[in-house]
């Protein structure tokens, strides 16, 4: 599969929603991006200092609930 560059809009959506959204929620906001692609971009942003803080407690709780439903 060919790599496609991230658009400014996609990067903005990720940066604006990272702290308060779970990975599943980010996948819905970025439907043309895979979970792996989103996670890789998050790592790049963290390395560049564009993402400095972790997830909000609410997002962490929702992620745990979503994982339980998958099992």
Q: How many structural domains are present in the chain? A: 1
Residue 49 falls inside a structural domain = yes
59 inside domain:
yes
Tokens representing 64 are 């745990």
Q: What is the pLDDT of residue 71?
A: 67
Residue whose pair of structure tokens reads 């439907």 in the numeric block: 31
**CA 66/CA 10 separation, integer angstroms:** 23
Low-confidence ranges of the chain (pLDDT < 70): 1, 71
Quick check: is 1 in a domain? no
CA 5, CA 20: separation in Å to the nearest integer?
Answer: 24
Quote the domain boundaries for residue 65. Answer: 8-70
pTM confidence score: 0.88
């Amino acid at each position: 599969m060919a790599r496609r560059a991230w658009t400014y809009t996609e990067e903005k959506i990720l940066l604006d929603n990272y702290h308060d959204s779970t990975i599943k929620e980010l996948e819905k906001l970025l439907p043309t991006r895979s979970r792996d692609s989103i996670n890789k971009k998050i790592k790049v942003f963290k390395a560049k200092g564009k993402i400095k803080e972790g997830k909000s407690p609410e997002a962490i709780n929702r992620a745990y609930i979503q994982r339980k439903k998958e099992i």
